Amino acid sequence: MRYKSSEKKFNIDNHNKTCLEKISSSKLFYTRDLFAYAFVALFVVFLIIVFVVLPSNKQANGFCVKKDGQVVFYFTNNTVKIQNDYDDLIETVGIQNGVEVTIYTDSNKTNFNVILFDLSNKTAKVTKSTCSHSKDCCYSPAISNSGIIYCAPHGLSIEPIGSGGFTPPVTGGIK
Amino acid sequence: MKKNTKKLTLSALLSALALITFMIENLFPPLFFPGARMGLSNVFILLCVVLLGNKYGFAVLIVKVTLGSLYSGNISALMYSLPSGLIALIIQVLLIKYTSRLSIIAISVTGSVANAVCQNAVFCFVMKSFAYLSYSPYLALSGVISGAIVGATVFFLTKKLRKIKFLQDIYFT
Ligand SMILES: [Zn+2]
């Protein structure tokens, strides 16, 4: 059987052609879509229950701030407990109903994050950062008993401690 | 121009568009939640799958993720954005191939949610902290929005693009 040359070449790409034909001749909505959307909705509800609702029942005793996985300071009982070697990189300012901690992320003190610990609401939030254009850490909502704030460019994380997470060591390492 | 050259040219163009969109998006604040983006660059990846086939789609994804993390100075992002991007694209490719009467929007939403959650899970694994999983519901929700936008864009683009001569040449000559 002889093909015209155009038909022959056309067949090679039949798969892609059908894919384009399939999508471009499809509709914006099919009844079957509802199954996909229901599956996604159930999945989101499951995530909310497991990772937001359940952890929020735990009571935190404070916060732990880490840089590249190393603890820089704890914030417990309304005081900042700085770990060894980090004294020079941290500035603490008391404000009304809160403590504002500036942590410099390089030795030249050109880059920093400012963390606000709200004493009345028992929350922590990043208020200023020099990390990137998008400043994701500043847009992270304040955390209290659960959640975490992470600044990827600075390798900085803030998480609650206590019954929900881990308890800071009582002796050694803390000034 | 030879057909394969045309395909290569088109996939290179789509890669460039995906990369530029990705870079521009990174200049703006996140969508509702840290780490959440509109993911408009995925328009070009999904479009590439539809127009040129799976092989080219995966190539555009790899180029976008690798160069995107390199240019944004966050090469470690490659660790969690590449696996999640691949998983999401595999899901979308399978849904396109093996389902009928499922809209491209539903396919895109499913892929986008899978991308968001996988990225978060791999991130937790890399950071060795499960605390980051508290982000996952919000990232999944933003995935629904971005997936719907990407799916609708691809839907309308394919309707227009099938009439373009350059593309018809790829299929019919
Ligand atoms: Zn940041």
ipTM of predicted complex: 0.90
Q: How far is the CA of A152 from the centre of ligand 1 (A)?
A: 6
pLDDT at A130 over 50: yes
Nearest CB neighbour to B136, from listed A15, A51, A165:
A51
| CATH number of the structural domain spanning residue A150 | 2.60.320.10
Distance B77 CA to ligand 1 centre (A): 14
Alpha carbons B52 and A12: distance in angstroms, whole number: 12
Could you give the dihedral angle defined by the CA atoms of residues A149, B71, B93 and B51, in that order, rounded to the nearest 10 degrees?
140
Q: Are residues A152 and A69 in the same domain?
A: yes
Statement to judge: residues A74 and A149 lie in one domain: yes
Is residue A171 assigned to a domain?
Answer: no
Residues A42 and A92 in one domain: no
Q: Is residue A105 part of a domain?
A: yes
**Mean pLDDT of chain B, nearest integer:** 91
Tokens standing for B76? 């470690």
Query: pLDDT band for position A151 (50/70/90)?
Result: very high
Same domain, A16 and A86: no
Residues A44 and A81 in one domain: no
The predicted pLDDT at position B173 comes to: 55
A143 shares a domain with A91: yes
Q: Return all residues near A94 (Cβ < 8 A) that are at least 6 apart.
A: A100
Same domain assignment for residues A45 and A80:
no
Q: How far apart are CA B80 and CA A71, in angstroms?
A: 24
Let me know whether A126 and A91 are in one domain: yes
Please report, rounded to a whole number, the percentage of residues in chain B having pLDDT higher than 70. Answer: 99
Residue A68 forms part of a structural domain: yes
Domain check: are A36 and A72 in the same one?
no
Do residues A145 and A165 make contact, with C-beta atoms less than 8 angstroms apart?
A: no
Residue A69: burial class (beta carbons within 10 Å; 0-12, 13-18, 19+): exposed
Contact A28, B152 (CB under 8 A): yes
Mean pLDDT of chain A: 84
CB B14 within 8 A of CB B60: yes
Is residue A35 domain-shared with residue A70, that is, in the same domain? no
Same domain as A87, residue A131: yes
- Taking ligand 1, which is a single-atom ion, which protein residues have CB atoms under 5 Å away? A 129, 131, 137, 151
Same-domain check for residues A52 and A67: no
pLDDT digits (tens, 9 = 90+) for B84-131: 999 999 999 999 999 988 999 999 999 999 999 999 999 888 888 888
Residue B63 CA to ligand 1 center (angstroms) comes to 26
Number of domains in chain A: 2
Mutate to test the interface with B, among A8, A24, A144 (most CBs of B within 10 A): A24
Residue B61 CA: distances (Å) to CA of A4, A42, A60, B42, B47: 36, 28, 41, 8, 11
Q: What is the pTM of this model?
A: 0.84
**Between the CA of residue B148 and those of A20, A25, A89, what are the distances in Å?**
19, 18, 45
Contacts of A165 in chain B (CB under 8 A): 131
Q: Within a domain: residue A3? A: no
In a domain, A1, yes or no: no
Structural domain includes residue A155? yes
Range of the domain at A70: 60-160
- Domains of chain B (ranges; CATH) run 3-167 (1.10.1760.20)
Matching residue, tokens 């929007």: B105
> Does the structure show a pLDDT above 90 at B63?
yes
